[in-house]
Amino acid sequence: MSFQFLNPKGDARFKDRHTTKVDETRLVYEEGMEADIGVIGLPSSKSSISLSLAAEAPKTIRAALRSFSTYSGEKNHDFADVRWLDFGDVEVHPTDLKQTLQRLNQSVSEMLDTNSCNRYIMLGGDHGVSFPSISAFHKKYGRIGVIQWDAHHDLRNLEDGGRTNGTPFRSLIESGVLLGKDLVQVGIRDYSNAKAYSDYAKEKGVKVYSMGDVDLLGANSIVSDEVKRLSEHVDMIYLSVDMDAVDQAFAPGCPAVGPGGLTSRELLGSVAQAAAHPKVKAMDIVEVDPSKDVRDITSRLAAHVMMRFMYEGSR
Amino acid sequence: MSFQFLNPKGDARFKDRHTTKVDETRLVYEEGMEADIGVIGLPSSKSSISLSLAAEAPKTIRAALRSFSTYSGEKNHDFADVRWLDFGDVEVHPTDLKQTLQRLNQSVSEMLDTNSCNRYIMLGGDHGVSFPSISAFHKKYGRIGVIQWDAHHDLRNLEDGGRTNGTPFRSLIESGVLLGKDLVQVGIRDYSNAKAYSDYAKEKGVKVYSMGDVDLLGANSIVSDEVKRLSEHVDMIYLSVDMDAVDQAFAPGCPAVGPGGLTSRELLGSVAQAAAHPKVKAMDIVEVDPSKDVRDITSRLAAHVMMRFMYEGSR
Amino acid sequence: MSFQFLNPKGDARFKDRHTTKVDETRLVYEEGMEADIGVIGLPSSKSSISLSLAAEAPKTIRAALRSFSTYSGEKNHDFADVRWLDFGDVEVHPTDLKQTLQRLNQSVSEMLDTNSCNRYIMLGGDHGVSFPSISAFHKKYGRIGVIQWDAHHDLRNLEDGGRTNGTPFRSLIESGVLLGKDLVQVGIRDYSNAKAYSDYAKEKGVKVYSMGDVDLLGANSIVSDEVKRLSEHVDMIYLSVDMDAVDQAFAPGCPAVGPGGLTSRELLGSVAQAAAHPKVKAMDIVEVDPSKDVRDITSRLAAHVMMRFMYEGSR
Amino acid sequence: MSFQFLNPKGDARFKDRHTTKVDETRLVYEEGMEADIGVIGLPSSKSSISLSLAAEAPKTIRAALRSFSTYSGEKNHDFADVRWLDFGDVEVHPTDLKQTLQRLNQSVSEMLDTNSCNRYIMLGGDHGVSFPSISAFHKKYGRIGVIQWDAHHDLRNLEDGGRTNGTPFRSLIESGVLLGKDLVQVGIRDYSNAKAYSDYAKEKGVKVYSMGDVDLLGANSIVSDEVKRLSEHVDMIYLSVDMDAVDQAFAPGCPAVGPGGLTSRELLGSVAQAAAHPKVKAMDIVEVDPSKDVRDITSRLAAHVMMRFMYEGSR
Amino acid sequence: MSFQFLNPKGDARFKDRHTTKVDETRLVYEEGMEADIGVIGLPSSKSSISLSLAAEAPKTIRAALRSFSTYSGEKNHDFADVRWLDFGDVEVHPTDLKQTLQRLNQSVSEMLDTNSCNRYIMLGGDHGVSFPSISAFHKKYGRIGVIQWDAHHDLRNLEDGGRTNGTPFRSLIESGVLLGKDLVQVGIRDYSNAKAYSDYAKEKGVKVYSMGDVDLLGANSIVSDEVKRLSEHVDMIYLSVDMDAVDQAFAPGCPAVGPGGLTSRELLGSVAQAAAHPKVKAMDIVEVDPSKDVRDITSRLAAHVMMRFMYEGSR
Amino acid sequence: MSFQFLNPKGDARFKDRHTTKVDETRLVYEEGMEADIGVIGLPSSKSSISLSLAAEAPKTIRAALRSFSTYSGEKNHDFADVRWLDFGDVEVHPTDLKQTLQRLNQSVSEMLDTNSCNRYIMLGGDHGVSFPSISAFHKKYGRIGVIQWDAHHDLRNLEDGGRTNGTPFRSLIESGVLLGKDLVQVGIRDYSNAKAYSDYAKEKGVKVYSMGDVDLLGANSIVSDEVKRLSEHVDMIYLSVDMDAVDQAFAPGCPAVGPGGLTSRELLGSVAQAAAHPKVKAMDIVEVDPSKDVRDITSRLAAHVMMRFMYEGSR
Ligand SMILES: [Ca+2]
Ligand SMILES: [Ca+2]
Ligand SMILES: [Ca+2]
Ligand SMILES: [Ca+2]
Ligand SMILES: [Ca+2]
Ligand SMILES: [Ca+2]
Ligand SMILES: [Ca+2]
Ligand SMILES: [Ca+2]
Ligand SMILES: [Ca+2]
Ligand SMILES: [Ca+2]
Ligand SMILES: [Ca+2]
Ligand SMILES: [Ca+2]
């Protein structure tokens, strides 16, 4: 028995024969598969300081990929042949948050140990996922450089609340996974941080670019200079994109929204700059809370960040 | 390579070992499968008189099944073993609406011709889908009785706009698929219909119960009496549930909402009454427009209507 | 030059030849016209105690009439020939609220002095409009009885804020327009009023029915008994429908929403009871704030209240 | 220097001299104070199975008290002299959820040890807060009877996720704090539970009333009978009100909404029945997630539940 | 009888004696009238690939004109004397979409044949309306040049879904109405198109400017150069403004929103550049779906596009 | 009795030991206190031409200060020691709007007469509050210069509606409080004003900068030049920030939103420019209507405007 207009396994949406949607290039990972890009969901946000539903973002960001296609006019190239492996989402624990961090770390490691992909995208979750994620990359790859787009330092002390979404880079530095000088922060905003953590950044040699610096130097040139600098002494570069680096008008779906941030063009342009460098092997996108969004525009922006990463590096 | 907390094919949600969610009893149809219930999506709403996104309801209603479980305390029975076959959604045509109606009819027929299920649920879409759907049942089963929950007669003339969501029962009667006396309408509301169509109903022998009748007689007893009556002379009974029969406070996601309708308990109770009868073999649920809903409560109510149908008949 | 599908003066919506929408029976008032029903908008809500956009309700309630038709199945009668005269909205003053009250009173009086209609509907606005409106009726008709659907007494003192939406019935009693015993209040809710005003009601002989009374006696029977009682000694009866008498689930668009109120069916049924009496000549509908509503369901309920009033009295 | 229209410490809202708002009878607790009612916020929802912002409800429910007053017309009594002590909210831990449960338990105990009030209200948070809360009452008062309004049993096993909002009554029974036969569940809904937990309830002697039972017997009479029964053998009775017992139309702000539940009048009436009994000493209100609500109507309903409890017991 | 504050025919809004709102300069077309600008509504969106309510935009865009006035400070000129003729909206067919396209074409032609205006504005509707609209202009005026603001090429093949909102410019080129080299596309976005259609554009000589080109050259200069170029060989220039050319933060109400687009200032500035050229005789504004908008800001932006077109050309 | 995790007087939120939130530097004013900054709420919006809930903004703007901290990375300074005195909100009259204006004026004067602060922030309310506020400053300080960020002149005549939010600067000029040449308007937008008022501005010597001027000259340089110019002949400078100067994408919560306005960075930068000058002593922020906002982003932007003012001047 065959159906003409029904496909119980598939999807009934309209198909244009010449267009490949980004989600159509997704392969559900099975042992032995290889691809340029691997994607994993890290749906954890219970350790956020404020209540956050960022754990729901891996679903909405993947869904946003249905709306966009694989063709870049700027590069005049169709990336329909760039397949990406989807490793699914890590099953987090409802009440044991340490367990959850451990599971995130182990799962990213297991993914890396498949040796199946050249580059990886981690979809948060809140920024707390960067600690277990970057730790896993460190174990596999060695010395890591990090470019962090963020309004905030995320260098809070660990005493006041344990490992939260405010502490990942403190945790990484203190646990020896990351050297301060190998961390670059772009988009740090006034009246959104504390002096102690700015001082800590300086003390550790973290390279900090505020919105004032972005106004002066431009996001693109900051990022391309720093990628070049880092690439000379690290084994790989990891991009960590906290979407609240973007102005609240462009990314209303972040828990900690505020005015005076990056535009969507500044974010997309600077991520593309970084992604083009061969040492850039990984990126996480964090702090998208779909329950706070308007028309999923923050998830859509996150999807474009993914596409810039996926396709800039594969030219 | 095996993962401990990752399952690329599956879903990372929390699982309680003793609870079966209704969506977990779903089987994607493959040739040769058999089950009590078959489900098909009829995602068509472009022929609605007003602009409607009811075509998106099959997705949201199926998603609502994730929130509910197979156990009925009232009957003290767990229906976890009642599997349902999902035939997917019909691929509609973006611009050729006649084609779309034809595809809906053919696809329901193809589903019936698999002879795989005892009973079927059709998820609209707008009420226009009942014409091709009931026509397909008629071809397969013979004389059909219909119980229609609706604020409206849906007996409009065909000249003023073709086959719309206002005409399905007119179309069925005029094309000889359905006898007027085999049609029962429950929940018809004042100031929501035209005299010409009420007169047409009378002329054709349609049995009409207004909200005033519901106040006097009760929805449950109206429906159980009429199912009994119909069952004596038809080959099967088809339930057609237009969710706008329910008051706008309980079903805000319908295109044609209004006050003074059924409560959610009246709808669920009366559908359960009908579903328990062995001649009731099919049900459609129509006119849920998820874009107009609040917290998906109309889709959730639709999901409960499904569960009442699925599990009342299988005791 | 004539157009086939364009009508610059009209409206391009779908027209079913057998259906008359309630807004199609509207006539823009011109001198000399006569009709059963006159409608006037009293778009005033700046004297509300809390900030209110109820002044926008005359537009949304009129718009809701587009969604409903003139045919009553319960009475098997099409009221398409019951025309209603629209006198438009009173132009209120942006900053001089006394001026506004004076304009409302004068405009209602001018409308009554046209002697063009048998019965009138006033669309608020907040409840403050009932004072100038009922005063105008009193001047024209003499002794007035009032049935007020409301969660609140609206008998506040005038010292603490002047004439607000909390004072209309106090103002009417104190100014001698209304006798306490000629006022009936239905749906008064616990924890939503003050003892001083309940005492004042008793002292003045106001007949008060709480939600507890509605539970015991039923809204329909309360209203029909009281209309009968009032009709024996007043010259006409005025219905004043504060939509917050209805439970917040059915009327979320009122400024002072709360739980435990009337259902939509209880409101519609009891208004219909009253409207059928020949001494019932006028009704206002107040406290609908469209900016707080969900899918305009409160305006739609208000539209049904209008239709019950318009068509029950004209059988 | 004194100001005429400025009061830096106070609040600039409109004040009617005869009306006392419920929040005006609140006293911030200081040592030595005594009152009829004590209120504590338990802002914890990170152990919910699904992501929940119920931790924000203590703020919105307290805020809703600003909209209602102390006068009951049904009882013709003004409760303006019934002061309630506000103990504030427990400071929860951002990442250590066991710590949080321990803090909730300790804080309720500390409140009880002030011996300052006759009766207490606990504002959740998710239903997980009932375990530490009832445990604290047990330690202080001895044998506890519980009336639980809920669509769900909340008797899940503890292995699959630790102590979540699905386990409080299992935890209480297993830890010996509560006897099965001292637990009464009202409003349990079909297709929202698992057979294993229904069986567990039976095995432990829990008294379960489904929505079918509510249809047959009435919520008021179920509750008043069970309070009488419990009162004969327990030291005190604790009411646990999960707002999802109410139909989703009346309480859209609950995480686990569904159709076919209690009306707002059924909930308020049955809570009032219970509160009138002298052995009823405590109540929690849980599972209100303000981020999912519409116009705060679920918080407003919760505020009315509070008022029924506060004022029924103090006649 | 005359009223002081009532004007049944008019509108009760506040009037400042020195301010003319743009909607006050509207004239309902009657035979014989002449004006600078004619406006027609093309409320068609059922042939959109995804479900769209863009058909409702002519109403919301016209409504937005109430909020803005006729005075330009930049040009220090009040355009209160520039009247525009409103031809109303085309009545579309509910189910026969070919009929609808034919009615749109015929109605635009009928409007042009009145010879009443110098320039015309067409309010969509989805982008599918540009095919019948531009065809009508071609018939009347001859060779047409088109400047299209859009994130997408709209050059899809016609086999996969018939004439949709993805095909208008393909349809125009293939039917010989428009030469490829007479079409200019501005704002084309990466990952939003297919290579086949980019190739098709090249093959046909369409002039394509991506967002990368906008970053380099500026929207204003691109448009003014291209208008000049086109004007040398076409008979008139038609502007086609798909609002999704604008970034989703500035135009959230478009069906196909995405990040990285034009700002509102870039759109308004470049439309003004074009409108100033005497060969620019027509403009359509499409793909505004009011049901997806936030505070009608996309309709308000569309209204400003209208005003730039109306008043730039009339200096 | 002391509690470990309960603080009935305080607040249970998470506290990072190194971070000071801006609201933690607030002091409730008591006689004798002194500080750099005084803040007063002017919750008046009933004299707005359109219905406005801007009166609710003082609460939401203060609440937004909870989300931001006192540390500026750009200046590498923690302003935790800059305390601000909160004088609370003026109690407005519900129905007597003249009384309200008088109370606003008197209350600002009383605040100034405490001589407790160097600089003051007034939180509106609609723009009508600037008339009584600036008048109070004039009385205390003498000749005032004003920089007004606004899309509108606010120079309407007083005959058509009395003192509204469209008239404050007309009122100030006509009453001799402000010289035309001492008023600078920045961000005036096309099609949002009337020629008569632009002419009036010219006649009175008001310095007007349109959005075209902002495009050409930059907001920062306009403001810093004008502050310098004004400072040479006035006694103090007052900033009046109507948030609708900002584009609707960045400030959706203003009653009169429109496209083509300032970005958030342009507003924050130019306010900071002004605040740094020692003659700048006062600022009001007006026209934020929280009921129209999205995620409170307009209130958050207003909070950043406050912080720029507070901390730029105190270096
Ligand atoms: Ca971060
Ligand atoms: Ca951040
Ligand atoms: Ca129907
Ligand atoms: Ca219907
Ligand atoms: Ca009232
Ligand atoms: Ca009321
Ligand atoms: Ca529960
Ligand atoms: Ca529950
Ligand atoms: Ca397009
Ligand atoms: Ca497009
Ligand atoms: Ca202004
Ligand atoms: Ca303004």
Q: Identify which has the larger pLDDT, B229 or B160.
A: B229
Task: Give the C-alpha separation, D111 to D131, whole Å.
Answer: 16
| pLDDT at residue F315, as a whole number | 52
pLDDT at B1: 55
Say if D162 is an interface residue toward chain A (CB within 8 Å). Answer: yes
On the question of pLDDT at B117 being above 80, the answer is yes
Q: Which of residues 276-295 of E touch A (CB under 8 A)?
A: 292, 294
Of the candidates E49, E51, E95, the beta carbon closest to that of B55 is on E51
Asked if E194 contacts A78 with a C-beta cutoff of 8 angstroms, the reply is: yes
- In angstroms, what is the span from residue D242 Cα to ligand 8's centroid? 6
**Torsion angle defined by CA atoms of residues F173, F179, F181 and F184, in that order, rounded to the nearest 10 degrees:** -60
Strand, helix or coil for residue A287: coil
Give contacts of E47 with chain B, Cβ < 8 Å.
Answer: 94-95
CA distance E104 to chain C (A): 8
- CB within 8 Å of C24: residues ≥ 6 apart: none
Tokens (6 digits) for F79: 């302003």
Q: Around Cβ E141, how many Cβ atoms within 10 Å?
A: 16
Q: Residues D44, D48, D53, CA angle at the centre, nearest 5°?
A: 55
From the list F56, F96, F161, the residue facing C94 with the nearest CB is F161
A49 touches chain F (CB under 8 A): yes
Does the beta-carbon distance from B190 to C72 stay under 8 Å?
A: yes
Residue to test with chain C: of F48, F95, F131, F170, most C Cβ within 10 A: F95
Smallest CA–CA distance, residue D194 to chain F, in Å, is 36
Query: Across all residues in chain F, what is the average pLDDT?
Result: 96
Q: What ipTM was assigned to the predicted interfaces of this complex?
A: 0.96
pLDDT of residue D9: 86
Q: What is the mean pLDDT of residues F163-191?
A: 97
- Rounded mean pLDDT, C9-38: 93
CA D256 to chain C, closest CA, distance in angstroms equals: 18
Distance spanning both ends of chain E, measured CA to CA: 44
Q: Which of C14, C68, C69 sits opposite B161 (nearest CB)?
A: C14
Which residues from E are below 8 Å from F294, CB to CB?
A: 294-295
List Cβ neighbours of C117 (8 Å cut-off, separation of 6 or more). Answer: C34, C35, C36, C37, C38, C85
Every domain of chain A and the residues it spans: 22-312
Higher pLDDT, A9 or B307: B307
The pair of structure tokens assigned to D285 is: 């209100």
CB atoms inside a 10 Å sphere around CB F228: 11
- Give the whole-number percent of chain C exceeding pLDDT 70: 99
F290 secondary structure, DSSP code? G
CB B279 within 8 A of CB B231: yes
Check whether the bond before E142 is cis (ω within 30° of 0).
Answer: no
Q: Is the pLDDT of residue E315 over 80?
A: no
Report residue D11's pLDDT band, with 50, 70 and 90 as the boundaries.
confident
- State the pLDDT confidence band at B2, using cuts at 50, 70 and 90: confident
Query: Best residue in E51, E53, E191 to probe A by mutation, most A CBs within 10 Å?
Result: E191
Structure tokens at B147: 């119980």
Fold of A22-312: Arginase; Chain A (3.40.800)
Structure confidence by residue, pLDDT tens digits, D119-166: 999 999 999 999 999 999 999 999 999 999 999 999 999 999 899 999
**Cβ of residue F88 closer than 8 Å to a chain D Cβ:** yes
What average pLDDT does the structure give for chain C?
96
CA of F51 to the centre of ligand 12 (A): 14
**Which residues of B are less than 8 Å from C297 in CB distance?**
248-249, 252, 257, 259
Chain E contact set for A294 (CB, 8 A): 252, 294
Coil, strand or helix at C285: strand
Q: Within an 8 Å CB–CB cutoff, is residue F160 touching chain E?
A: yes
CB-nearest to D51 from A47, A53, A161 is A53
Question: For residue F123, what is the enclosing H or E element?
Answer: strand F117-124
* pLDDT the model gives residue C1: 55
Instruction: For residue E102, give the 3-state DSSP assignment.
Output: helix
| Residue B58 CB-half CA count within 13 A | 25
Shortest distance between the Cα of F193 and any Cα of chain E, in A, equals 6
Crossing angle of the two packed helices C297-312 and C57-64, in degrees rounded to 10: 70
A154 alpha carbon – ligand 2 mean position (Å): 7
User: Does A92 contact B12 at a Cβ distance shorter than 8 Å?
Assistant: yes
Q: How large is the C-alpha radius of gyration of chain F?
A: 19
- Beta partners for residue A243, in sequence order: none
Please report residues of C whose CB lies closer than 8 A to that of E38: none
Query: How close F38 gets to chain D, by Cα (Å)?
Result: 11
- The arrangement of secondary structure in E23-312, i.e. its CATH architecture, is 3-Layer(aba) Sandwich (3.40)
Distance between CA C217 and CA C118 in Å, rounded?
31
Report the distance separating Cα F281 and Cα E235, nearest Å: 60
B156 at interface of E, judged by CB pairs closer than 8 A: no
Say what percent of chain F tops pLDDT 70.
Answer: 99
Q: Count how many residues are written for chain C.
A: 315
Backbone dihedral angles phi then psi of residue C184, each to the nearest 5 degrees = -120, 130
Give yes or no for F20 touching A (CB within 8 A): yes
F18 is in an annotated binding site: no
Mean pLDDT of B102-111: 98
- Rounded Cα distance between B126 and F271, Å, is 54
For D288-302, the pLDDT digits (tens) are: 999 999 999 999 999
Q: What are F179-207's pLDDT values in tens digits?
A: 999 999 999 999 999 999 999 999 999 99
Quick check: helix, strand or coil at residue E117? strand
Report CB contact under 8 Å: F6, D90. yes
Whether the pLDDT of residue F96 is over 90: the answer is yes
Q: For A29-85, what is each residue's pLDDT tens digit? A: 999 999 999 999 999 999 999 889 999 999 999 999 999 999 999 999 999 999 999
Per CB-CB distance under 8 Å, the chain C contacts of E85 are 8
* pLDDT of F70 over the 80 cut: yes
* Cβ within 8 Å, pair C6-E92: no
Provide the token pair at C71: 């045919």
Neighbours of F32 (CB within 10 A): 8
Our CA-based measurement puts residue D45 at a distance from the nearest CA of chain C, in whole angstroms, of 25
Q: Which chain B residue lies closest to E55 (C-alpha atoms)?
A: B51
Q: What is the pLDDT of residue A315?
A: 52
**H-helix or E-strand spanning residue E144:** strand E144-149
Residue of chain F minimizing CA distance to C166: F94
Task: Report the chain F residue with the minimal C-alpha distance to residue E269.
Answer: F260
Q: Looking at the predicted structure, is the pLDDT value of residue D315 above 80?
A: no
Partners of D92 on chain A (C-beta within 8 Å) are: none
